[in-house]
């Protein structure tokens, strides 16, 4: 049975590939993007199966209006994919206040408000699935991506909580955590002005790796999209979906390291409870 999808950030990357794959298999897609025109060829090819809406994730009133318009036009939406976002690259000290505010407004606040906007409609339907595109960077961290990680760790905590709130109402959530994948993510990075004091630090090492295209890309974008669709189609959608060998290795190592540190501190941790009443 075909589905109707609402997907943000469809001009490039995983959002664009996901839109193409779904249309090819006969699903209906409401695709949003910041600048119109990018999906004209797909609109001509797939006609009424594709509805394109302009949407700036930082304009919350307009976002709510677009969500209302989408549900009004199609009646029922099966899957909402919160995909829009970008990377901010630079050591924390190098970033400007404006860059920080824009990163949080787009990746974190925008994603939170999109989910809040669709919940009343999914609740009324008594069914719906929400896919939040996060990153391996929602559980691990690289130097030079501090604000990007802040938004991804933040949205993962938000989704973890909301998923529990709405599960009894027929709404399911999945966090998708790709590792470095063959999209245009690196080309779309917003960059801070480098400070020479970070040249011989881990931040400088990562900058040179990215600039020299030596940061290993192990994920296949087409395979990632196929895995996302298969997970949504499954009877029970997983709560998390890590994609790629790098994501698996980095998340696995980070979780093991945090668990080891927790166990090492067990006696100290337990000793801080309130003393039992005599």
CA distance 151 to 22: 28
Judge whether 152 counts as a catalytic residue: yes
224 half-sphere exposure, CB direction, 13 A CA radius: 29
- The three state secondary structure string of 184-234 is CCCCCCEECCCCHHHCCCHHHHHHHHHHCCCCCCCECHHHHHHHHHHHHHC
Instruction: Look at the alpha carbons of 144, 150, 151, 155 in this order and tell me if their dihedral is positive or negative.
Output: positive
Judge whether 250 counts as a catalytic residue: no
Judge whether 198 counts as a catalytic residue: no
- Of the residues 134, 135, 146, 250, which is catalytic? 134
- Of the residues 3, 152, 198, 250, which is catalytic? 152
Which residues have a Cβ under 8 Å from the Cβ of 171 and sit 6 or more positions away? 119, 122, 123, 127, 128, 129, 130
- Of the residues 11, 148, 198, 250, which is catalytic? 148
Q: What are residue 191's DSSP bridge partners?
A: 89
The catalytic residues are 134, 148, 152
């Amino acid at each position: 049975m075909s589905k109707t999808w609402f997907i943000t950030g469809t001009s490039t990357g995983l959002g664009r590939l996901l839109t193409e794959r779904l249309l090819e298999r006969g699903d209906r897609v409401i695709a949003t993007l910041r600048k119109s025109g990018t999906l004209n060829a797909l609109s001509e090819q797939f006609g009424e199966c594709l509805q394109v809406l302009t949407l700036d994730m930082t304009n919350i009133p307009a976002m709510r209006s677009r969500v209302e318009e989408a549900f009004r036009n199609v009646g029922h939406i099966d899957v909402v994919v919160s995909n829009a976002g970008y990377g901010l690259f630079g050591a924390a000290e190098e970033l400007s206040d404006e860059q920080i505010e824009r990163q949080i407004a787009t990746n974190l606040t925008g994603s939170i408000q999109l989910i809040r906007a669709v919940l009343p409609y999914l609740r009324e339907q008594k069914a719906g699935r929400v896919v939040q595109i996060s990153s391996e960077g929602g559980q691990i961290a690289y130097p030079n991506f501090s604000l990007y990680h802040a938004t991804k760790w933040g949205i993962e905590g938000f989704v973890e909580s909301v998923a529990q709130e709405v599960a009894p109402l027929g709404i399911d959530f999945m966090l998708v955590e790709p590792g470095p994948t063959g999209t245009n993510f690196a080309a779309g990075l917003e960059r801070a002005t480098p400070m020479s004091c970070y040249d011989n630090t881990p931040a400088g090492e990562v900058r040179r790796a990215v600039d020299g295209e030596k940061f290993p890309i192990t994920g296949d974008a087409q395979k990632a999209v196929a895995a996302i669709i298969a997970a949504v189609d499954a009877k029970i959608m997983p709560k998390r979906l890590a994609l790629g060998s790098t994501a698996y290795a980095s998340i696995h190592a980070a979780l093991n390291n945090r668990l080891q540190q927790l166990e090492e501190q067990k006696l100290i941790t337990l000793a801080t409870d309130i003393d039992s009443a005599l």
